[in-house]
Structure 1
Amino acid sequence: MQDHDLLSHFSIIQDYRQTGKIEHKLSDILLLVICAVIAGAEGWEEIEDFGHDRLTWLQEYADFDNGIPSHDTLARVMSLINPQQFQRCFANWMQSCHKLTEGEVIAIDGKTLRGSYDKRRRTGAIHMVSAFSTANGVVLGQVKTDEKSNEITAIPELLKLLSVCGCLVTLDAMGCQKAIAQAILDKEANYLLAVKGNQKRLEEAFAKHFPLSHAVQYPGDYFSTIEKAPGREETRFHIVSDVIGDFVELSADWPELKTLGVALSFRTTQGEIPENATVRYYISSATLTAKQFADAIRNHWMIENQLHWRLDVAMGEDDCRIRRDKAAENLAGIRHIAFNVLNSHKTFKAGMKRKQKKAAMNTDYLSELLMAKGFS
């Protein structure tokens, strides 16, 4: 079996059902759910329907000796799977089939699954933090934040699952924490962190050393872009600096701090004066040119518009009302598997939704997708 075979990586997941009462193998259920979600199924009943329609095809890859499990069985089994085991299997699978390159941007950000909020049980919506390879558009791993915590505690747990040696890990201001910076360095990667008011001393130092009047006439390394659209124009200006002034003292708290970055942007609408500039501050352990800095922070937002947006629009994640025990968290991981399978396959050039429909209608295409991930 190939080392990137998806199901071989997930075979170590423990089945908590009573042995004598098992009618459907866990591996069969996982295969069914993965294939159905790839084909656009968004709930247990739709997954069951897909199974009945594609039973003969599914039996080419697994036993299904007792046919297709009911939607109730699917819901119960998926709610019993240990999410931490699932997350480790997912990360190991991605490490086996996706090789990162030196300097590759890995964006980490969180997303709330709004449909998982359960008013009746008084449980809040779950929040998943994901790592996204911006170069190839795939999810490398994900973890759920603790109920009484936030992304600050989840990010180090996610980093433990990942192999990001030589990469540039980007985070928004929530992740601008000394412990997180050190955790990234411990993985032999570099950090690029956005700075806001939660790090007051850093923000004050940026405001002092890089006032707007100084930034727009910056004598050092800078890079600018202009994007034009009908009726408006957006200008982005990026500057980088070595550690200077007050930052020398602050660098004692921020491990291996090497680069300070400032990004300014303003929009001009036809017939109107330019809007006030938006200013954002960054710190990094990598030595970056202004262009490298600009590319990295632009790539970070790919996790929003290429992953989170597609999960909602193409896969209906925010509308999903699955909430039972661990099912919502595990199904979020299944959606990430489906996303990676679909997005990394380039033979059929189409959007995510269209690829899903093709997979639902054409088992040859679905087989092609599975073969790319080691199925035989």
Structure 2
Amino acid sequence: MFVPPSSPIPAPACPVPRLETLAESGTRDEVRSLVAEFEAVTDPRGACGVRYRLASLLALVVCAITPAGHDSITAAAEWCKRAAPEELAAFNLPYHPLLGRYRVPSEKTLRSVLGRLNPAELSAAGYAWLHPLLPDGPVVPAPQMPDGGVEREQRRAHQTATRADPIPRRRRAIAVDGKCLRGARRADGSRVFVLSAVRHGDGITLASREIGAKTNEIPEFAPLLNQIDDADLADAVVTVDALHAQRTHADYLHQRGAHYLLTIKNNQWNLARQLQRLPWSEVPVIHRDDSRGHGRLERRHVQVVTVDGLLFPHARQVLRIQRKRRLYGAKKWSSQTVYAITDLPAEQADAAEIAAWARGHWTVENTVHWVRDVVFGEDKSQVRTHNTPAVLAAVRDLIRGALHLAGYVNTAAGRRAHTERHRVLALYSIT
């Protein structure tokens, strides 16, 4: 049924329970529409010949890629063409009085706009929309999905969250890691890399930044964290891999009031050799952890030494984590020894807590990179126009975060549950 521009837009018939609860509980700020949040993104187009508002185009792309099976810009354009007039009106698209319908952006328009955007601004706008929905404490998922379905991962996550945490964490933790978009290549043949800052636990992306063709992750560390507010970074623990074990990074985090947990490998040869020469034979194992999963048994023994005067700024504790793994049914164990340093003294972080942060760093791999590769088909995508690969990575992070906060532990199940348009619009408060 046609809805003229002056008529009110009907509300979706079946809103998502999680967002409805947050909006009505009064414990969170009012959830803004995603279209309104995208008004803060800078429009790279000139004033002449602009037909569609940038916020409307971005909200359309996010909503179009949310359902399962819509992983490309072509699929997003088709989703827009099949939308009803009242749904198009919710995005504030222009109305053509002579044709008697709303204008729908073409695939060429979407590609042109996405290729000229700043991925960092889009990532910041996405986190600004997610921030009012973030709980004060850890998310405890329901035993079943919000739409009433039952998933094995949903039950497991509920059991894990309701079980008493033997390792209470006194600080927030943020993982910084880069990812190669394997299907995308620039005009000069170089690959596209995106550096992201992700919260431990829920995997919400705080900031992301595309790495230039003639640089690497190291000089982009500080510009990435500059996008994060002091309230989110202050007193948090930033976990990084061995590539970012740089003295300048430690000084930067100290100035921002944050802490670090750095993995040390042979790329820092002098420091690694100094850590290996510590009297580990005289240090007792003060934390043990046994786990099962992914078809293997894993045992971790953690030793901690308090230090002062290392060849690294502000270092206070050194960890040696010995990992032993064995596949189910096998007899042979494989072992690995990892060294890590932190600027937190023993009275502020014990061995179990630091070991939990070290394991939590894999959140960025298991929750973010794996989901984007497998669920959204990111590595298979061959989109390579200007900034489009990094922009689509920011869009996927926003969708993944929205589905997680809506109560879906499994992102693929959440996408399958939003094949109907009114559910997608309700998810992003577009009414």
Task: Note whether the superposition's TM-score is higher than 0.5.
Answer: yes
Give the superposition deviation at 1:15: 2.5
Q: What residue in structure 1 maps to residue 339 of structure 2?
A: 281
Distance 1:84 1:265, change over 3 A: closer
8 Å Cα contact 1:128/1:144 also seen in 2: yes
2:40 to 12, 22, 27: 12
Give the superposition deviation at 1:2: 4.3
8 Å Cα contact 1:111/1:128 also seen in 2: yes
2:275 to 193, 206, 210: 206
**Cα-to-partner distance string for 1:281-333 (whole Å, 9 max, x where unaligned):** 00101232111011111110111011100000101111111111121221211
Report the residue type matching 2:208 in the other structure: Q
Residue 219 (str. 1) matches residue 284 (str. 2): yes
Residue 266 (str. 1) matches residue 324 (str. 2): yes
Give the superposition deviation at 1:89: 3.3
Q: What residue in structure 2 maps to residue 324 of structure 1?
A: 385
In 1: Cα distance, 2:107 partner to 2:341 partner: 49
Give the superposition deviation at 1:93: 4.3
Give the superposition deviation at 1:96: 5.3
**Cα-to-partner distance string for 1:139-192 (whole Å, 9 max, x where unaligned):** 111011121111111111111011311211100001100111122222211100
Give the superposition deviation at 1:117: 1.8
Larger helix fraction of residues:
1
2:185 to 117, 120, 124: 117
In 1: Cα distance, 2:359 partner to 2:296 partner: 19
In 2: Cα distance, 1:27 partner to 1:126 partner: 25
- After TM superposition, list the pairs within 5 Å mapping 1:76-95 onto structure 2: 76-94=112-130
In 1: Cα distance, 2:295 partner to 2:117 partner: 52
Q: What residue in structure 1 maps to residue 404 of structure 2?
A: 343
In 2: Cα distance, 1:205 partner to 1:314 partner: 43
Secondary structure at the residue paired with 1:263?
strand
Residue 70 (str. 1) matches residue 106 (str. 2): yes
Distance 1:132 1:14, change over 3 A: closer
- After TM superposition, list the pairs within 5 Å mapping 1:101-250 onto structure 2: 103-118=171-186, 121-163=187-229, 164-211=233-280, 214=281, 218-219=283-284, 222-228=286-292, 232-243=296-307, 248-250=308-310
Q: What residue in structure 1 maps to residue 11 of structure 2?
A: none
How many positions carry a matched residue from both structures? 356
- Normalization by structure 2: what TM-score? 0.76
In 1: Cα distance, 2:48 partner to 2:123 partner: 28
Secondary structure at the residue paired with 2:188?
coil
Report the residue type matching 2:65 in the other structure: V
Report the residue type matching 2:122 in the other structure: F
Distance 1:306 1:54, change over 3 A: same
Residue 51 (str. 1) matches residue 112 (str. 2): no
- Normalization by structure 1: what TM-score? 0.87
Q: What residue in structure 1 maps to residue 426 of structure 2?
A: 368
Superposition RMSD in Å = 2.4
Segments of structure 2 that go 5 or more residues without pairing to the other structure are 1-28, 95-101, 138-169
Distance 1:179 1:369, change over 3 A: same
Report the residue type matching 1:311 in the other structure: R
State, as a whole percentage, how many aligned pairs show the same letter. Answer: 23
Secondary structure at the residue paired with 2:191?
coil
In 1: Cα distance, 2:66 partner to 2:178 partner: 22
**Cα-to-partner distance string for 1:68-117 (whole Å, 9 max, x where unaligned):** 11101110111122334334434544555547775111111110001112
